[in-house]
Chain A
Amino acid sequence: MKQEVICVICPRGCRLTVDPENDYKVTGNFCAKGVPYGKAELINPTRVVTSTVKIDGEKITRCPVKTDQAIPKKEIKNIMQEINQVNLNAPVKAGDIVIQNILNTDANLVVTRDID
């Protein structure tokens, strides 16, 4: 079954139609970038997850974190569960790894802000 996907690579936001029965042929794209995007959105859509974790900072008690690569969309919920278990101790620096290879996605969960 053909599916509609909105390309988010640029703000034009083309409405792509992707046909899984025809080698994931993409139509409706204004430029070439829409083709790999449309294909990936059907085969394995990925996203970067950002959230916060607890920390015992001097002035702040939430520390922002992100996955350092896009992870499969279907793992977002499970990753949020992992994130909600974390308790950090200050100080931390942006880039510090909180969880390595989170849920075997190859992505690390990293801190995104210095906190004392």
Chain B
Amino acid sequence: MPLQPRGFRHALNRSTLRPGERQLEVQGLHLAFGKVAALAGVSFTVYQSEILAIIGPNGAGKTSLLNSISGLYRPQRGSIRFYNDGETYELTRRKPHEIAQLGIARSFQNIELFRHMTVLDNLMAGAHVHMKSGLLPSLIYWGPAQQEQIHFREFVEDIIDLLEIEAIRYKKVGTLSYGLQKRVELGRALAMKPAILLLDEPMAGMNTEEKEDMARFILDVNEEHGVTVVLIEHDMGVVMDISDRIVVLSFGRKIAEGTPEEIRQNPEVRRAYLGE
């Protein structure tokens, strides 16, 4: 286990790699919708315990990239390799639920929570892949099945603590403000005990205070638990502040990659993205 979690009774990070080890390798990814090439040969590597930002103008292919990693889109060419437990997993041929079971968790650009469930149940649903009780024991809520639910309730309470959402745990998520829903969606992804966390515009549409909170939570998860974060974000202030490295996409191509400082200096990025 990479880092010692603070205040958590159960490990949050599922990756067995050491910080800095190669964790996710995207190679030559091509994805086209009819004539539109959403991704035109994208390659990059994600390293354990880093925060990698993906930036680029609207329609650059950022969401398509995350959707390809989580198996929702089927790229026509290229590979996505994921490393954990000493194994190599090729993701492009797997179903979304199988990819999730490997520990790849994510949030969505347009919140996709389970609206009619409470915050608590959304987080419990996030821990679905870890619950192993059979149908019959579950129907009678028999000893071990009950123990399992209580065990994960404990775990989920630690996430509720971390995200400071104690006061809303019994609320139906559909009734919550946009900012809180984004926070719950992060919580649901964390409940999966991610090896890697993919966040699609986690701060979009938030006010400054909410953004600061969200940035703090992401840093907490990354620094305290060593969870790798891949995040798409438009707010350049936030991106420069919290990310270790940045990948820049434009029209489905990677036009730059580097530290925030390198990206700031890169003439092509300034031309294509920062509008110069």
Do A and B come together as binding partners? Answer: no
